[in-house]
Structure 1
């Protein structure tokens, strides 16, 4: 009988590649499409790789991943399911470990205002993150709630004061106007760079993947 001379690390990595992360839950295939297919080596060769390093941009990774998968999906295959099956192969090292540690059904974690980060800067960062992933499929009210909950306590109090009560008691349209006005006034009186320009070293950002199972928040890196 042949002897398997692979190390424990290599064997573990092999099992990881063949397993399906608990956080990935495949939906039913769309009408006229199939969920039974093989991931071709040509696709796996072309998908971008993300290691979870500080200099890598997870949103850029998602965009590149989307482009490759969309261009190489067979006509009879459900594109969303193909992307969900291919996604683990795009992650490497700590990023792959992070994926396999996520609980089933994990979604967006949220966004937090960093210490010393002004309201206008936080607001611009929030808008940039939302715009960077137009396929997030999140309702307006949920995005506003993430923004609100991520505010520093004092900033949340000031926003509530300008709203004449809790911001979350307003309609999404009214809340967006209040937030935009608060950012504009703060920019005029404080200056965008008045309190900071430097980003905090560790900030939980909104990372919105297309698949409902992905919460692509940058893993900690050394």
Structure 2
């Protein structure tokens, strides 16, 4: 409490306990908000619609900004411009390390959305990342067993992660073409009207889009056929376990990738049964033939003996 010496008010002498208690003074945000922005009615459903960014190295700052723009575009303006609404919403998206970064910025140092955006990108999107993305784009290649549409989508995702890569459309169309296997390069050549083709970069990109649509359609159909074949082949697997059949495998083996011996389809079993019957009949025929041959040889031998006896009797009578 201040003291009065009769003429002036004397400031109180600091006490030891005063410096032991933390004093938090009113602090303004680093983003300067007008009265209109401060009075914007922010509901809980609005906060839930906004993406979150924590500032971790594995997070994608550009991806967050794109999601942020999309989320803000769905909110009511209520007298604000879209830039003002972005400034009003931005602080609600920052969590953990990103939140700490935002709190440490000087008060009201960011007065426009452009300044907020530049400060954010300068902190969380480093030039080193740009160089890494450019190298990934330049040395892009199709993976083993990858379908055309999967390669094309992966390439476009890479471009979206670094929109300021600096490559022209002509260079990008050539990079993607060289990344393909010879088989898919041939498909591109045919679709473009021959090798190289008298087409522009945009036209070649459209060729990639068309081939990707066809590849996606065939890929889905192929997976459906494959799933049907797998289901037919292993259709009785779960039923066998339910009935207690011993397949020399456990469900855990199946989950860990150890495949059970496939059960034969009923048509195959029927054919195997028929084959076994035919083999049995052939064995019987062969056995009967052997018996018949033995009987014939015995009859011939008996006939020879009988003939000799008849000849001997005739000689004796004569």
TM range (shorter): 0.3 to 0.5
**Larger relative contact order (Cα-Cα within 8 Å, sequence gap ≥ 6):** 1
Q: Which has the larger radius of gyration?
A: 2
With the length of structure 1 as denominator, give the TM-score of the two structures: 0.41
Q: Which has the higher helix share?
A: 2
TM-score (norm 2): 0.31
